[in-house]
Chains A and B, each alone.
Chain A
Amino acid sequence: MKVKLNINNHDKLLEIHPGETLLETLRNNNFKGVKCGCGTGDCGACLVILNEDAVNSCQVLTASIDGESVTTIEGIGSMDKPHLIQEELVKAGAVQCGYCTPGIVISAYTLLKKNQNPTDDEIKAALDGNLCRCTGYVKILDGIKNAVKRMSAK
């Protein structure tokens, strides 16, 4: 079957299987920054923004979101033009294996879209769906707090 999706501000007409998850659709179409850590919606490695909300793309059937908009990590920033969240995570030393990092960036980006000045607890709550086994989260929180500071200074 065919679905229309707007991915990172580009309209796409995609051929999918009816039972395909959004995670599979995105990775099949070369959005490989979206990672699979569990396939059960528990780890946040596959987070993308569906319309305005961060969702685990492994838990969304692509057929159910015909006509909607998706933002993946590839749509947030690039090597040449990183988003300041990405820059601050890098500076803070928050990226170890980096497998969870795209999902962390999506969580932080979605939070800061809705709340320009989150408290530390609000940042922690926004990251409650992201598992990271490498960092112990300390430097991830540092990086996001620094991103908040930079955004509010703008």
Chain B
Amino acid sequence: MKTVGKSVKKIDSLSLSTGRMKFYDDYSFPDEAYIKMLFSPHAHAKILSIDTSQAEKIDGVIDILHFKNVPRILHTTAGQGFPEPSPYDAVMFDNIMRFVGDRVAAVLAETPAIAIEAISRIKVEYEILEAVFDYEKSMDKGTTVLHSEKDKKYPIPIPYYPEKNIAAEVNIDIGNLEQGIVESDYRFEETFYTHYGAHAMLEPHGVVTYLDENNRLVIITATQVPFHVRRICAMVLQIPIKKIRVIKPRIGGGFGGKQEVFLEYVAGLFTLRTGRPAKIVYTRAEVFQSSRTRHPMRVTIRSGLNKNGQIHALGIEALMNTGAYGSHALTVLSNGGSKVLPLTNKVPHQRFAGTTVYTNLPVGGAYRGYGATQSYFAVGQVMDMMARKIDLDVLDFYKQNTIKVGESSPIFEKLGEGKEGVKMIVDSCGLEECIDLGAKEIGWNSKRNKRIINGTRARGVGMVCLMQGSGIPRIDMGAAYMKMNEDGSFNLDIGATDIGTGSDTILGQIAAETLGVDIEDIIVLSSDTDQTPFDVGAYASSTTFISGEAVRKCALKIKEEIFKVASEMANIPIEKLELKNKQVIWTGGKLDFKDICIYALYTNNQLQIQATASNIADVSPPPFSAHFAEVEVDTATGEFSIVKYVAAVDCGTAINPKLAEGQVEGAVVNGLCWALTEEYKFNENGKMVNADFGRYKIFTAADLPDLKTILVPTYEPSGPYGAKSVSEIAINGPGPAIANAIYDAVGIRIHSLPLTAEKIYEKLKQK
């Protein structure tokens, strides 16, 4: 292959590194006005009165929005397929505040400073309501109810009991878990807790809107889901889709956080009401408190193991905290089963039982790993415990119990996204090689169970095996359009949304490979709802697999079109033609691409060489991965450090190996920070008290451990050039791998994130 499998330079990277590329905040328009929000200082309150008269008197205040002057349109902010598997429980501005950071009002003013001043002059009288902060108590009788309005519901039939603070429920059984546990030689029951997490993409959420020359609303926004933005804004603003154009500029990272639609319609409404371009840029503190987070989860694992090393029963019971609104309340929960249980596919008795509850805390949402991350923290540790129970090396335990090529899992069919899943056979799996190569790299055999001691410091190694998916089968769709230009170059217009991942480059590589041209000959335009075909957007590890195949199909059609024109030009049958080096060749002759295009556009039977293609998938082939961590723990203080971290990943064909490695490295470090240093801290009123990068600690380069990524090539027959997904899976590893390594070093098990020196110290003291 000429382009696929090569680490070509990311096509926008030079422009980005010289500061040329434009993000939403780099667009400004004459007459632009600025938005600031007033946020609720109370976790649960009813607005009794709102008085904006003093704010309106300030020179430069243009407009103010609040619950009394906006339409009450129930919707979900989750940018998912339609109808969404999330409850319609949010409105643009409400009279009930459900968390500290909920939106009270918004001001449009001539300058940001005037908007801030106006915000401070809005007088709000609240009736403070009882708040629930402990999600384990949300369902208790007598607990305050967050969503008592009778019209709140899912747009699809999903169990929803807001009167009990229940935002979603999932229950599936394979075999009979209770019977399986009773039959097993050894029984396990362990409960784990995962915590809130911030996406912490470097570019804050924001949007700029304006009316174009035809009075259509143009929305330039930091989003992962431009087409969902258009649909949700049309619904909430009650204007036709044809009146809206959404443009995705460069996006400064997303990780799921920008799969939410909650600012675009506010800016859009101001623009519609005033005719003024309107811009909002969230401050970092606002991003922390008022955007979206990783859902915290309590995960109880109940399992049964036989002496021969076979897992006989495995149940995951999950309680998930979605905060004040139910964004992704069902699907993050269900992915805690659907992306985890199939890994150990031969267990005869399995259960996934999950409940999502509301609390008066920040709102959960999509976050890289999407429920699997939470669940693997628990399952990954119980796998380690089970292997230790029967003195089996956990590497062999995984090899014995995990899914292989040609095998399936009943979970694939039973547990989908808002509906049943699809039957699926695994056609590519490099997990055993991931285990072997990772073990070699970390030095497993010389370090496992050795507890190498140096003074007060003890070393240990731990590991975990993982899988994820590649897109949502029979739901996610991506489409591509291509046309040929006179110099033999091609435009590739895709709805697929590059948010920094490099998908423009990867999709360009797939087009270039299919047409035998260089990446430089492909001009990529992504995500403008007026100019590119539909794509669900950047989520669910779908872009390379789903949108990539759309591009491949589209390029194949272009090839056919080129052959048709060449055949006419040379009077040679199409069957005798081949593509090579930007030429159509046949025995005894050749035609340059540019001459073919010039002929097509200007000479005879004129036409545009062009094509479009859509793609959905019947399967969601899992990438697989094995992660290894070596830690050194100070037994006197509990302090510990990561000596080395290894992630071996089977993502099928890596279309661009460097970019694939970059996805793994970024996800691993994101997972490391979340497992070790990140923590939402709340005061007794439910307010986050560390909403800045000074106190919410994410790693810098100086904190980086020795990190090694190993790509293990396999070939996935259903993916473009053998590719599967890579972007999410690696974030699931650090929590369980490090917890297992800590156990290997000092023999204590930490059941809650983050993994801190304090927790280790306390447990060491108890020992």
Contacts and interface: CB of A to CB of B under 8 A. Distances in A.
Contacts of B7: 93
Nearest to B21: A98
Contacts of B702: 124-125, 127-128
Given A35-B23, A82-B18, A138-B707, 12 more contacts: A36-B281, A40-B692, A42-B692, A74-B19, A94-B662, A95-B10, A97-B250, A99-B252, A127-B701, A135-B665, A138-B704, A141-B704
Contacts, number: 186
B48 to A, nearest CB: 33
A131 B669 CA distance: 12
Contacts of A133: 199-202, 253, 255, 666, 670, 698
Interface string B277-292: 0000101100000000
B19 A37 contact: no
Interface residues of B, number: 56
Question: Which secondary structure dominates chain B's binding surface?
Answer: loop
Contacts of B13: 89-90, 93, 95, 98
Contacts of A129: 700
Contacts of B10: 90, 93, 95-96
24 contacts: A32-B19, A33-B19, A35-B203, A39-B284, A43-B693, A74-B19, A82-B14, A90-B14, A94-B662, A97-B202, A97-B203, A98-B12, A98-B500, A101-B16, A124-B704, A129-B700, A135-B662, A137-B665, A137-B669, A137-B700, A137-B701, A138-B665, A140-B701, A141-B704
B700 A96 contact: no
Interface in B404-436: none
Given A90-B10, A93-B10, A135-B665, A99 B692 contact: no
B661 interface: yes
Contacts of A73: 18-19
Interface of B: 7, 9-10, 12-23, 25-26, 199-204, 250-253, 255, 281, 283-284, 499-502, 658-659, 661-662, 665-670, 692-694, 698-702, 704, 707, 709
A42 B693 contact: yes
A73 B668 CA distance: 29
A92 to B, nearest CB: 8
Interface of A is mostly: loop
Interface of A: 31-40, 42-43, 45, 72-74, 76-79, 82, 86-87, 89-102, 105, 123-125, 127-141
Contacts of B501: 96
A93 B16 contact: no
A102 to B, nearest CB: 5
A36 B204 CA distance: 8
Contacts of B694: 40, 42
A139 B13 CA distance: 13
Nearest to A140: B701
Contact of B658 (A82, A100, A139): A139
Report, nearest first, the 4 A-B pairs whose CB atoms are least far apart. A33-B19, A97-B500, A98-B16, A99-B252
A26 to B, nearest CB: 11
A50 to B, nearest CB: 17
Given A133-B201, A133-B670, A138-B704, A90 B9 contact: yes
